[in-house]
Structure 1
Amino acid sequence: MKRLSDHTDVQLTELFTLGDIDAFEEIYNRYWLKLYSAAYKRIKERATAQEIVQDFFTSFWINREQVKIQTSLQGYLFTSIKYLVLNYKRAQAVRNSYAEILLMVNNSFDNSTEENYNYKELLERVETEVNQLPPKCRNVFELSRKQYKTNKEIAQLMGISEKTVENHLTKALRYLRVNLNSLLLLTFLFLRR
């Protein structure tokens, strides 16, 4: 391994874009902890922060020929991590929203026969609405909500980007929220009588 610790970020960037693995390792060693700290500060989950930074560096190396660093290397790295964290938080918010709806529905029913029947009817209606989604959107939604796959896993399974996965989930949840809102309202009003 070449000794690159005395190289500037600009020099490392030039070597990196030419495919120099030693330059990549120096960038990794120089910035990993700082990037992890930045991610951890925003999400407060060690494993998730580590995963985000590791995934970033993997993608950074794989896509090195397409990487265009317009500003400083440090600025590029921190901006990339910031957006990855924001994407993670957005995906978590969608998951949490869905979980809250299910929890509200589950908590609103006890074990009485009538309520069990209504609950089954509601689940059937949710399933009917899910089946109305476009095929790719429905597939992404079911992988996420029924098989508990992460956005990254879904992207790899379907051969699409994580951003596309997020877009499909957002679209699906928006559709379900609009189409099931009236049903949930009626269900809650019925249960209060």
Structure 2
Amino acid sequence: MNTEPLLYQNEDDLLLQLNSGDQNAFSQIFKQFYQPLCFFCNRLITDSATAEEIVQDILIKVWDKKEDFSSLSSIKAFLYISTRNASMNFIDKQQRQQRRERELLYSIDELEEPIIQDIIYTEVLNEIRTEINNLPEQCGKIIKMLYEEEMKPQEIAEELNIKVSTVYNQKMRGIAILKTRLAGATFEILMIYLVFNGKY
């Protein structure tokens, strides 16, 4: 669980400090949006290294335009739209010489619905990751080893020096806790992912 002190009382305070050039405020915004934007960008271009570069460049633009934003929502919209546009430019450049991928060169209007779906999916996964991080220590660790590191129960048992049955028990405990903490639709998405990937 995050134990960092709360630097700003609310979004308005955070925005005010950003507008005035507070680097700590920018750092907080950077941390808040970096991972979700990388995930969003990577889903569009399927190149994680380039996605990180694109997102870093876009976030730096927030600092350059720090006096122009009137709300945190306007920052979020700017980040996602700019990341989308940069991603489209990257795809366009890469696929001029790849005939088999020309179908990806849609107009912005044709991409709007899939992009909105990607934003929703990104934020749902971010919510799931947050709740996994808030699980009891051993339980959360086992869930991450199972689903993020894709380790087998036997491997986890050997790594943690525990019984395989303990791994299964902690797995089921974690899923039960997540069910109580996540909204119904979000938990359903998690279960569909686990079942579809043979992890449940």
TM-score (norm 1): 0.42
Q: Which has the larger radius of gyration?
A: 1
TM-score (normalizing by structure 2): 0.40
